Amino acid sequence: MNDFPASLNPVLYTEKGYDKLNAFLKKNDPSKIFVLVDSNTHSNCLSQFLQKLETSITTEVIEIESGEEFKNLQTCEGVWNVLSELEADRKSLMINLGGGVVTDLGGFVASTFKRGISFINVPTSLLAMVDASVGGKTGVDLGNLKNQIGIIIQPEMVLIDSSFLGTLPANEMRSGLAEILKHGLIASEEYWRKVTNLADLDLSDLDDIIKESVDIKARIVKKDPKEKNIRKTLNYGHTLGHAIESYCLTHPDRNKLLHGEAIAAGMILETFISHKLQDFPENKLQQINGLIKDMYGKESFSADDISEIKNLMKFDKKNERGNINFVLLKDIGAPVVDITVPDTVIDKAFEFYLNN
Ligand code: GLY
């Protein structure tokens, strides 16, 4: 099974995906299967998923609470304890059935339990389908700081079944859409135009869009699985976006933002910075600002909020030797990495965000 491959394992879709999963179970014959769910995917996805499994291997279900606030080491400890009580061994298989919290946390728990058991991701949210479940990033938050603890290790496979999206709330769909928009901005103007032209899209286009986004991400991860260079481009909008998300998580007076909602604001801010420092075209900046705000609205940030958000960027994982490293764009589809940004330009970006 998983021998810490550097590159990407297959991402499979719907019926073919279930066939491959069942063939995988037959071939590898795990000692037990552990399906990790949260309270939402337990109610909405588990029975549909279990019906597709063709195996007589003992299958246990482990449930965690749903929500980013449970993506921490305490939850991991709970899952490790259950694995231990249920006598999971090195030949056991974990299947993470859920959104980004379940796939990130489940991958981390699996790859550290008894120094590593195999795992498969079955994402059930749009965000997890197009981003979190693919590429092998696993981990949990440390306090309010996002994804500080974790490792990069590839799942045995990712199985995407978009029929799970039928029960996903609209705000969760919007959150996933932000990562799709990001893929357009960093990789392809044609894809950006397609996914922002929502009037021309309907639900039947969703499978193609998911696949195109996964292909963009997979191409990048294959070139740089450990995020030494080009994979950093997948963090576009995330330097400020993660800081905004962390800030909102810990300030109960603020609307809690879903990951993609915070990244949407981060992408406007970082596109403004790209305009100032990398000559990103002004007309496209205005277009991106308008389109993203039409979809996500505008958050309000006071001077104190901005100063705390800037402080939180110190914990961004791309930072090196105390420098905050941004991904910026020279144009749509033309990213550059490891750019430091003067504080004054960040302030100007917030001014632009708030006043336009
Ligand atoms: N979410 C960005 C990455 O997987 O690299």
Please write the tens of the pLDDT for every residue from 334-345: 999 999 999 999
pTM for the model: 0.93
Architecture of the domain spanning 11-168? 3-Layer(aba) Sandwich (3.40)
Residue 1 has pLDDT above 80, yes or no: no
- Percentage of the chain surpassing pLDDT 70? 98
Q: State in Å: Cα 41 to ligand 1 middle.
A: 23
As a CATH number, domain 173-355 is 1.20.1090.10
Confidence of residue 4 (pLDDT cuts 50, 70, 90): very low
pLDDT confidence band for 199 (50 / 70 / 90): low
Q: To 10 degrees, what angle do helices 259-278 and 170-187 make?
A: 30
Distance CA 118, CA 130 (A): 21
> pLDDT at residue 300 above 80?
yes
Of the candidate ranges 5-19, 48-62, 101-115, 256-270, the one whose mean pLDDT is the lowest = 5-19
The predicted structure's pLDDT at residue 316: 78
Query: Is the confidence at residue 315, as pLDDT, over 90?
Result: no
Whether residue 120 is predicted with pLDDT greater than 70 in this model: the reply is yes
In this prediction, residue 267 has a pLDDT band, given cuts at 50, 70 and 90, of very high
Whether 131 lines ligand 1, by a CB cut-off of 6 Å, is yes
Q: Whose CA is nearest to atom 2 of ligand 1?
A: 234
Q: Are 156 and 122 in contact (CB under 8 A)?
A: no
Distance (angstroms) between ligand 1 centre and the Cα of 131 equals 6
Q: Is the pLDDT of residue 209 over 70?
A: yes
- Looking at the CA of residue 134, tell me the nearest atom of ligand 1: 4
What residues contact residue 355 under an 8 Å CB cut-off, 6+ apart?
Answer: none
CA 331 to ligand 1 centroid distance, Å? 20
Assess whether pLDDT exceeds 70 at residue 168. Answer: yes
Task: Write the residue with the smallest CA distance to atom 3 of ligand 1.
Answer: 234
Position 5 confidence tier, pLDDT thresholds 50, 70, 90: very low
Q: Whose Cα sits closest to atom 5 in ligand 1?
A: 234
Is the distance from the beta carbon of residue 100 to the nearest atom of ligand 1 less than 6 Å? no
Determine the residue of 134, 158, 231 to mutate for testing ligand 1's pocket, defined as the one with the most ligand atoms within 8 A of the Cβ atom: 231
Q: Count other C-beta atoms under 10 Å from residue 30's C-beta.
A: 23
Give φ, ψ of 213 to 5 degrees.
Answer: -65, -45
What is the percent of the chain with per-residue pLDDT over 90, rounded to a whole number?
87
Q: How far is the CA of 106 from the CAs of 61, 78, 158, 349, in angstroms?
A: 12, 12, 13, 36
Q: What pLDDT sits at residue 197?
A: 86
Atom of ligand 1 nearest to the CA of 220: 5
Ligand 1 atom showing the smallest separation from residue 131 Cα: 1
CA of 355 to the centre of ligand 1 (A): 30
- For ligand 1, the distance from its centroid to the CA atom of residue 138, given in whole angstroms, is 10
Task: Pick the more confident residue, 122 or 252.
Answer: 122
Q: At 293, which amino acid appears?
A: K
CB of 135 closer than 6 angstroms to any ligand 1 atom = yes
Backbone phi, then psi, for 160, in 5-degree steps? -105, 120
**Ligand 1 atom with minimal separation from the 179 CA:** 1
Domain boundaries, the chain: 11-168, 173-355
The pLDDT assigned to 319 comes to: 76
> Where is average pLDDT lowest: 82-96, 178-192, 271-285, 301-315?
301-315
The pLDDT of residue 7 is 65
More confident call, 25 vs 256: 25
Asked if residue 3 has pLDDT above 80, the reply is no
